[in-house]
Copies of this chain bind each other. A is one copy, B any other.
């Protein structure tokens, strides 16, 4: 383990001089600086993050807790966040909560313990209020992404309600009035059914609650779907998630029917199958996220406000063959 002391000794200078040379800070003789840097490389010296963070009280890292590692869309946003924050000199530390509030608690603790300078997370529940309070007390910039579980904390979400609204409007404009909505049992997200109902009311159509179905994530709904399609004979279907979309396609195939379909979240295979989709506004999401965090970080004495923002970014309807 070669440390700065070793480098200093090898160069016959003091630790302070070596540090100044390597950190490019303060005065140090040009030739000496060059020699020190060279020697450091030669010895394979790498600064110790832990010591540096401990000393400076700043880690130049941003913690991000992602709730679902399988979510392609989350990964896209994450990729952009990593790249963008790097431009500001910040590294991203990623933790995955796997949609589990206990794991989320661990992740938050770990990131706080690591002294991240800011924290972005997709909340699972509102059961970690104590930690949220702690973060706010410490004035660490904090942001909820995709969901808002804590009203006092800023949130940037996709307006899925609006997504459902434009999808429903699309079908209604084609005189397909019996639209079935496969919604998600996910708390803290903008409600798809609200947008659905708004569109219906704008067209003066009574809402048939049987056509609004809610399912939890994580398991196939295909058998249930077959039953529902047979019973209620919808004229169009809006699938609230990708997997619901897959299940809907499979169900229709088995029933040998073709019902117009719009699926949330634009993935590759949807394009291939020429299925209409509600596309996530990836670019807007990561841009607003970076803005939000960086501006908080740049505010010298940032103090978390009493009540949080709730930014809702609108997705886009992409019409293909299926609808």
Contact = CB atoms under 8 A, between A and B. Distances in A.
Interface of A: 1, 44, 46-51, 53-54, 57, 59, 69-70, 72, 75-76, 78-79, 82-83, 91, 93-94, 96, 98, 109-110, 112-115, 130, 134, 137-138, 243, 246, 249-250, 267-269, 272-273
Dominant SS among interface residues on chain A: helix
B243 A272 contact: no
A49 B50 contact: yes
B115 A50 contact: yes
A228 B3 CA distance: 57
26 contacts: A44-B130, A44-B134, A44-B137, A46-B109, A46-B112, A48-B54, A49-B110, A49-B113, A49-B114, A50-B54, A50-B59, A50-B114, A50-B115, A70-B72, A70-B76, A70-B79, A79-B96, A79-B98, A83-B98, A94-B94, A243-B268, A246-B269, A249-B272, A250-B272, A267-B269, A269-B269
A48 B115 contact: yes
Contacts of A96: 79, 82
A167 to B, nearest CB: 21
A109 B75 CA distance: 23
A49 to B, nearest CB: 4
Given A98-B79, A268-B246, A1 B138 contact: yes
Contacts of A98: 79, 83
Contacts of A94: 94
Contact of A50 (B53, B75, B130): B53
Contacts of A250: 272
B69 A79 contact: yes
Which 7 A-B pairs have CB atoms at the shortest separation, nearest pair first? Answer: A269-B269, A50-B50, A49-B113, A50-B54, A44-B134, A50-B53, A49-B114
Given A46-B112, A268-B269, 11 more contacts: A1-B57, A1-B138, A44-B137, A46-B113, A48-B115, A49-B110, A50-B54, A75-B75, A246-B272, A249-B272, A273-B273
